[in-house]
Amino acid sequence: MELLSHSGQPLDLIVVGGGAAGYMGAVTAAAEGCCSVLVLEATNKPLEKVQRSGGGRCNVTHACWEPEQLAANYPRGSRPLRGPFSRFAVADSVAWFADHGVPLVEEADGRMFPLANSSSVVVSCLKQAAKKAGVHILTKKAVTSLKYQGQKGFLVGCRDGSLFEAKKVLLATGGHPSGRYLAASLGHKIEQPVPSLFTLSLDAPFICACPGIALDNVCLILEASGQSFKEMGRVLITHWGLSGPATLRLTAFAARSLHLAGYQTELIVNWLGNSSRETVHSLLNSFRYKHATRTMGVVKPFSTFPKRFWIALLEQAECDPKKKWADFSRYSQNKLAETIVSSKYFINGRGPFGEEFVTAGGVMLGEVNLSNMESRKITGLYFAGEILDIDGVTGGFNFQHCWSSGWLAGKAIIK
């Protein structure tokens, strides 16, 4: 195959992995003057994760414009990413895609999608950019070995027996274990991956009887493996427990602690956010007098609670929804207030669905120069994307890290 060498010399760059980070790295390197760039993709569908992301819409990035604020959305890598994000962050991604014919639009929650509202335009954009830059793509080329040959570069072996020589290699295999295996074979330490961004399965029969209800400004607190975590925001009640942005963010930051705890611990929920027991007691007292002749299940003190959910809370607190407010005892009031601001539910596992297939783990960051994504152990070896021990919360942050790390690696490779 003629791509095995370039005028008798090794290829300038081989990118292992045809995903978001791999394409960005390959296109950037080629645009900077890398003459021979080859992407080796194990499957027959490059950019498949991009195609499927965001329900087929592709949440390209998030409208979080300051590098420090952006970095705060990464449970693993928050502080180390401030430097890389000062060079290529959200505004740079927006400009890059606009320059390549894909304008992005911001939604109310900050997520940014292509104006065409389809992931296909993002996939087409990256493929066209690669073709224009002269990047070669080979599919069904699962890389199984990577040998460092010093000044001669790298020998890259594939499962089908083909061999390639390259001066430099960019590993961008996402969360697939093959990339971690290749990095480890060259002496890199790996933080073993655990699930991140997942829903919670709860022992909460009254609440789980209200699937489909979404509530804003809910406070979630959990302790696991000696650490405490707190999140505030929107939650979605499911038939198995809790989902929604606040739940996913909580599990992202608590991913390792929850894993160590075997996903068995207690979750404390304040269904009114930061509201205190005193505030709730005051409102309940008011209802006892103003609506004495009305039944508790019909007239509710909290406008943000759907009726079905309000009745579930009453039942959880052992309050009869058919009872009149005048018959609401002080004991029952204390129990209901406790249920509203400090419900305790046992977490008995992860929910059945993750979010965007994100894992926490990968090549340890101390062994990578994050200013250019080059290995501190092997000259000419670079990393980009989820292969690193970096992961973001839901909302476009994981793709943003792919664009940033791919771009930084591509810029540095030609130098």
Digit-coded pLDDT (tens) for 100-128: 999 999 999 999 999 999 999 999 999 99
At 372, is the pLDDT very low, low, confident or very high (cuts 50, 70, 90)?
Answer: very high
At 2, is the pLDDT very low, low, confident or very high (cuts 50, 70, 90)?
Answer: very low
At 415, is the pLDDT very low, low, confident or very high (cuts 50, 70, 90)?
Answer: confident
Digit-coded pLDDT (tens) for 230-266: 999 999 999 999 999 999 999 999 999 999 999 999 9
Instruction: Give the pTM.
Output: 0.91
What value does the mean pLDDT take over residues 45-58? 95
Superfamily of domain 2-194+357-413: FAD/NAD(P)-binding domain (3.50.50.60)
Q: Which single residue is written with the structure tokens 């990256």? A: 126
Q: Look at residue 355 in the predicted model and tell me its pLDDT.
A: 53
Q: Does residue 319 have a pLDDT over 80?
A: yes
Q: What is the mean pLDDT of the chain?
A: 95
Q: Are 392 and 73 contacting, i.e. CB atoms less than 8 angstroms apart?
A: yes
Domain ranges in the chain are: 2-194+357-413, 198-354
